[in-house]
Amino acid sequence: MNFNQLGLSAGLLRAVEEQGYSEPTPIQREAIPVILSGRDLMAAAQTGTGKTAGFTLPLLERLGERGRGVRALILVPTRELAIQVEESVKTYGKYRPLRSIAIYGGVSINPQISALRRGVDILVATPGRLLDHATQGTVDLSSIEVLVLDEADRMLDMGFIRDIRKVLALLPAKRQNLLFSATFSDDIRKLARGLLHDPAMVEVARRNTTAETVAQVVHFVDRHRKRELLSWLIGSRNWRQVLVFTRTKHGANRLAEQLERDGLPSAAIHGNKSQGARNKALADFKSGKARVLVATDIAARGLDIDQLPHVVNYELPNVPEDYVHRIGRTGRAGNEGQAMSLVCVDEHKLLRDIEKLLGRELPREAIAGFEVDPTIKAEPLQKPRSQQRNAKPRSHAPRDENRPERPAGRRRFGGGKDNAGGNRERRAARSR
């Protein structure tokens, strides 16, 4: 099957061709005709399946010519995703007259207000900042024809359910609704029941499976020799673009600095960095200026980096599902990828949990010169607060850079002057 058979018009097909896509991915094959027919949709699709084009292309087709007022709203959980989805709207809509904008917190609201005033057809937004605009009367959502909830499961994880409900209350009752989620928890189903009318169901990727195009391997190594091994792997195998995961923000910074000292241009991305710094790190990595991007799990969510060849788990994640998310950064849409985990004696239990989730053992590979010293004993790993017994949310948690990054629900946003959305997001998270 090729894109010509999906009912998309010439301008969209041309844009797709320019992206070099030869055939639609499974989610695109299934979702595009449903969306074009005007029906509601509930889709199970993870990042990396081509879901963004799966909803953006038919959305652009349906909107047709430029209209009056905002006609499509795409709600996303994170700023990075807002930026990336809006870039996709621009890419695929290159030969369409439609105007789009990304609306997210942590940056000044004024340029967003000016852009909204000039007029947009498609809005890609995080819930908190969108509500700020709605409260100030700088956005009018009364002419929305299509609503997309992208990565709905993450939005719920991040405590956005109340904000989502507030947004829904501002939309006209008659509209098309599209819900995309990697997983279908009871909460998602509940949201879907209240939102979707007679939806078509599409499922393309099962939960907790990793792409077959990703070669996964475990290297056992001593705790204190991980960095040395990483630098050696990158240098000797001449990797040009490597995404590396650490468990803590401080660990991400420190590792990026150490790799720099080893002569490997590196950038770090995590929740304590300003939006500007995160955008710059990502841009440097995409352009090749930085060979290594060191990231924490939360910061890496939704990152779309084309054809990422190598992912390294410098430290295993505390939550086994995060391993699947991390690996999802490579081998996307049919490209081959490599994922390796550097595992020290402290992390054997984490590895067992991951393998249990995957239902198989990951292949081990010994690296000459980095043999494990059997006399080194395991030390306990610090757990994130959410997994500690009797963990209570603290409203004024002292900043501890060594602590693993907080789970998304209690994530701190913004930090800039213009942080109204961030406060709201925090309140929403706390009140769950």
Contact residues toward ligand AMP (CB under 6 A) are: 21, 24-25, 28, 47-53, 304, 306, 332-333
Q: How far is the CB of 213 from ligand AMP (least distance, A)?
A: 12
Token digits of residue 168: 């829904």
Task: Please name which of 47, 295, 303, 270 lies closest in space to residue 151, comparing C-alpha atoms.
Answer: 47
Q: How far is the CB of 291 from ligand AMP (least distance, A)?
A: 20
CB 125 within 8 A of CB 148: no
Indicate the residue among 24 and 105 with the shorter CB distance to ligand AMP: 24
* Residue 201 DSSP one-character state: E
Indicate the residue among 209 and 402 with the shorter CB distance to ligand AMP: 209
Q: How far is the CB of 167 from ligand AMP (least distance, A)?
A: 22
Quote the CA–CA distance of 356 and 336 in Å, as a whole number: 24
Q: Tell me how many helices (H) and strands (E) the chain has.
A: 16, 13
Quote the CA–CA distance of 411 and 398 in Å, as a whole number: 14
Q: How far is the CB of 250 from ligand AMP (least distance, A)?
A: 29
Quote the CA–CA distance of 391 and 383 in Å, as a whole number: 11
CB 311 within 8 A of CB 326: yes
Indicate the residue among 326 and 332 with the shorter CB distance to ligand AMP: 332
Q: How far is the CB of 236 from ligand AMP (least distance, A)?
A: 28
Indicate the residue among 94 and 412 with the shorter CB distance to ligand AMP: 94
Q: How far is the CB of 181 from ligand AMP (least distance, A)?
A: 13
Indicate the residue among 229 and 298 with the shorter CB distance to ligand AMP: 298
Quote the CA–CA distance of 89 and 122 in Å, as a whole number: 8
CB 202 within 8 A of CB 54: no
Quote the CA–CA distance of 20 and 16 in Å, as a whole number: 7
Indicate the residue among 94 and 403 with the shorter CB distance to ligand AMP: 94
